[in-house]
Amino acid sequence: MRIESARVIVTCPGRNFVTLKIFTDQGVYGIGDGTLNGRETAVVAYLEDHVIPCLIGMDPRRIEDIWQYLYRGAYWRRGPVTMRAIAAVDMALWDIKAKMAGMPLYQLLGGRSRDGVMVYGHANGSDIGETVEAVGHYIDMGYKAIRAQTGVPGIKDAYGVGRGKLYYEPADAALPSVTGWDTRKALNYVPKLFEELRKTYGFDHHLLHDGHHRYTPQEAANLGKMLEPYQLFWLEDCTPAENQEAFKLVRQHTVTPLAVGEIFNTIWDAKDLIQNQLIDYIRTTVVGAGGITHLRRIADLASLYQIRTGCHGATDLSPVTMGCALHFDTWVPNFGIQEYMRHTEETDEVFPHDYRFDKGELFVGETPGHGVDIDEELAAKYPYKPAYLPVARLEDGTMWNW
């Protein structure tokens, strides 16, 4: 069996997605996701110019060897573009292998560890009142876990407060728009949100919050301490993680669970955080970390330290990644939770899939492979549209982390 050809499909049914389709000489094909929000064209170029030519003639069943070839064989390795391209190949190869076996992907990974996958949705509002109402809407939809974000008085376009209630999409312009930030205002306001949420809905539901890399370690520790009475499921991305040791300071001052990793590309980005038990959840994604092959290694390392998975699952990842993530979640022993931002109806039509939502959980189907396909004819009706994520500046104009 050999890889006969491969092609990249870029489509924008509401947002941009990069899909790799690999064909074999036996008529079996697989698809993978290489989407990188705002840098889609870089991944496309890397796939078309540097990856696909190397794949032709290879045995698609040799998933591990091909992964090592693409990673170790590239002297300039790691980084988001390279790892997304490798992830696209890896997902497609696992799809092919599972189809050949006539099994859903989770069976090849080792079978079920659970029946359903608990997911969390995104509730947001321009102020506390709107967010409290939005959380109630998610509870009514059956969610057991909800991430709550609120606008903060005096801050322009606070992170997490999107233009829609179900389809939050931050990439909003052909050039980056500018948002604002003020840490003191956020620290004075965010704990009030969770106080009101617990007063309104009690403690039966899991609540999460995303700091989105906005706080220094001391500020993050302060926020975590103030949120302790409200028993958060986690505080996400409380401080930038380039310096992994920064989490030591946070950990020393709060018992609020910590989650990080959606922008990580390899196990090396998380190694110290995991080995020193500075986090409780690792959020690395199938597409961000070079596919299922590499994400398994990260999860296995985390399991040694009782750290659980909480994979990123925003709409900047296509249903292909979501399908792969759910098969991974169904198998992985140290599962914690899965982020689930609903795609638009247009996206779901372009990427038909067999996973389904019910009572706060997602369930994978029994379709051989990862259960997600692409309607290329429909995809062609949604051409690529350049779209950047925003940037953030402090009130004095200083650039900050978005």
pLDDT, tens only, 368-389:
999 999 999 999 999 999 888 8
pLDDT score at 175: 84
- Report d(CA 32, CA 88) in Å as an integer: 4
| 96-106 per-position pLDDT tens digit | 999 999 999 99
pLDDT, tens digit (0-9, with 9 covering 90-100), for 83-95: 999 999 999 999 9
CATH number at residue 340: 3.20.20.120
Q: Is the pLDDT of residue 166 over 90?
A: no
| CB burial string 81-104: b at 16+ within 10 A, e below | bbbbbbbbbbbbbbbbbbbbeebb
Q: Could you identify the residue written with the tokens 């051989």? A: 368
**pLDDT score for 168:** 67
Residue at 323 is within a domain? yes
Q: In the chain, pLDDT over 90 holds for what percent of residues?
A: 91
* 193 and 325 assigned to the same domain: yes
Predicted pLDDT at 174: 78
Nearest to 210 by CA among 401, 17, 49, 16: 401
Choosing from 73, 88, 104, the residue where a domain stops is 104
Q: Are residues 49 and 83 in the same domain?
A: yes
Domain edge (last residue) among 63, 88, 104: 104
Are residues 150 and 82 both part of a single domain?
no
**What's residue 160's pLDDT?**
76
Q: What is the pLDDT of residue 167?
A: 64
Give the count of domains, the chain. Answer: 2
In a shared domain, residues 88 and 165: no
Q: CATH number of the domain that 82 lies in?
A: 3.30.390.10
- DSSP letters along 3-38, please? EEEEEEEEE-SSS-EEEEEEEETTS-EEEEE---TT
DSSP-derived 3-state class of residue 271: helix
Residue 339 lies in a domain: yes
Residue 152 shares a structural domain with residue 298: yes
Residue 377 lies in a domain: no
63 and 189 within one domain: no
Any idea which residues carry the catalytic annotation? 159, 212
Dihedral sign of CA atoms 363, 37, 34, 31 in order: positive
In this structure, the answer to whether residues 30 and 144 fall within a common structural domain is no
Q: Confirm whether 186 is domain-assigned.
A: yes
Asked if residue 141 belongs to a domain, the reply is yes
Question: Max alpha carbon distance in the chain (Å)?
Answer: 62
Three-point CA angle 267, 104, 78, nearest 5°: 20
Do 167 and 268 reside in the same domain of the chain?
yes
Q: Are residues 142 and 283 in the same domain?
A: yes
Whether 378 maps to a domain, the answer reads: no
pLDDT, one tens digit per residue, over 21-52 is 999 999 999 999 999 998 999 999 999 999 99
Residue 49 domain boundaries: 3-104
Residue 169, pLDDT > 90, answer no
Q: pLDDT per residue over 318-341, tens digit each?
A: 999 999 999 999 999 999 999 999
What local confidence, expressed as pLDDT, does residue 354 receive?
97
Q: Determine the pLDDT at residue 164.
A: 62
**Of 36, 69, 104, which closes a domain?**
104
Determine if the pTM surpasses 0.85.
yes
- Average pLDDT across the chain, whole number: 96
The answer on 147 and 16 residing in a single domain is no
383 is a domain residue: no
What is the pLDDT averaged over residues 135-161?
93
Residues 47 and 11 in one domain: yes
Q: Does pLDDT of 165 surpass 80? A: no
Is the residue at 389 inside a domain?
no
**242/198 same-domain check:** yes
Report pLDDT for 172.
75
